[in-house]
């Protein structure tokens, strides 16, 4: 398998350790690990990167693709229970997309910690087809413990949601008030119609996951959505 070139990791194969990561205090993720972290993130390994796409059709596909799926017996019973407990009324379930105004990020470059990352698409056909982009809010990582009885300082870990981080930082910068994150919500009942529109334009799993797996996935999804009527 093709692995992005990363001198730090390549050197550690020979040295068996990485002095910079072991003893040094640095911003995490460091830039030399961005490409390999993007590859890991894209295939399901958690990192500090957040997945985005530059294509609204791709965003719509991922927002609706899991909204219609076969229900297990347990799920059906639970849904019926909720229906009768609410006297026949159930709240509409929604799909949603989050959109980021990148102009805010670019305009505050050097002041706003948020970084936009577009890794090389070569060698990662899925990422290329999905027009993947990542954002990173780096944190300062302390050095690793050097003694047996020394514990790792975990106070540096930060899992604050991006919208909260942005609000706080932009308030500190006393920037003008303007939307920078947009939540686009629509009822799940519209998912079938949206999928049909995407399918007509060829924007299905077959395009977003190049290869036999993507073709098989698109056939299964077409059958699943095709068996439902728009509400």
pLDDT given for residue 180 in this prediction: 84
Of 213, 66, 212, 60, residue with least CA distance to 131: 60
Please tell me the predicted confidence (pLDDT) of residue 134. 94
**Residues 6 or more apart in contact with residue 105 via CB below 8 angstroms:** 112, 114, 115, 116, 135
Q: Is 84 helix (H, G, I), strand (E, B) or coil?
A: helix
User: Which pLDDT score is estimated for 64?
Assistant: 93
Cα within 13 Å of Cα(206), Cβ side: 13
**pLDDT mean values, one per 10 residues, the chain (231 residues):** 80 68 72 88 88 95 83 68 64 86 82 88 89 90 67 72 86 77 89 92 96 94 72 42
Residue whose pair of structure tokens reads 């398998």 in the numeric block: 1
* Spatial CA neighbour of 141 closest among 25, 46, 31: 25
Domain ranges of the chain: 25-69+93-143+153-226
pTM: 0.78
Nearest to 208 by CA among 198, 223, 196, 193: 198
pLDDT of res. 71: 60
Best CA proximity match to 203, nearest among 27, 61, 49, 82 = 61
What the block records as the tokens of 89 is 């009324």
CA count, 13 A, side-chain hemisphere, 224: 16
């Amino acid at each position: 398998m093709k692995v992005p070139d990363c001198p730090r990791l390549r050197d550690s194969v020979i040295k068996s350790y990485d002095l910079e990561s072991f003893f040094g205090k640095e911003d995490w993720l460091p830039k030399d690990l961005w490409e390999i972290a993007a590859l890991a993130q894209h295939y399901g390994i958690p990192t500090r990167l957040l997945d985005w796409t530059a294509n609204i059709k791709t965003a719509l596909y991922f927002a609706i693709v899991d909204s219609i799926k076969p229900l297990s017996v347990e799920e059906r019973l639970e849904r019926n229970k909720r229906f009768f407990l609410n006297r026949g009324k159930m709240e509409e379930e929604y799909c949603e997309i989050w959109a980021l105004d990148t102009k805010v990020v670019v305009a505050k470059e050097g002041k706003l910690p948020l970084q936009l990352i577009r890794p090389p698409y070569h060698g990662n056909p899925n990422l290329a087809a999905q027009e993947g982009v990542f954002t990173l809010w780096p944190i300062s990582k302390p050095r690793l413990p050097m003694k047996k009885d020394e514990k790792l300082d975990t106070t540096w870990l930060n899992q604050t949601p991006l919208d909260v981080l942005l609000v706080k930082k932009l308030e500190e910068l006393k920037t003008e008030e303007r939307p920078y994150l947009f939540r686009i919500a629509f009822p799940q009942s519209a998912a079938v119609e949206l999928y049909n529109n995407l399918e007509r334009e060829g924007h299905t799993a077959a395009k977003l996951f190049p290869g036999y797996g993507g073709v098989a996935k698109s056939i299964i999804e077409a059958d699943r959505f095709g068996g439902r009527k728009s509400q």
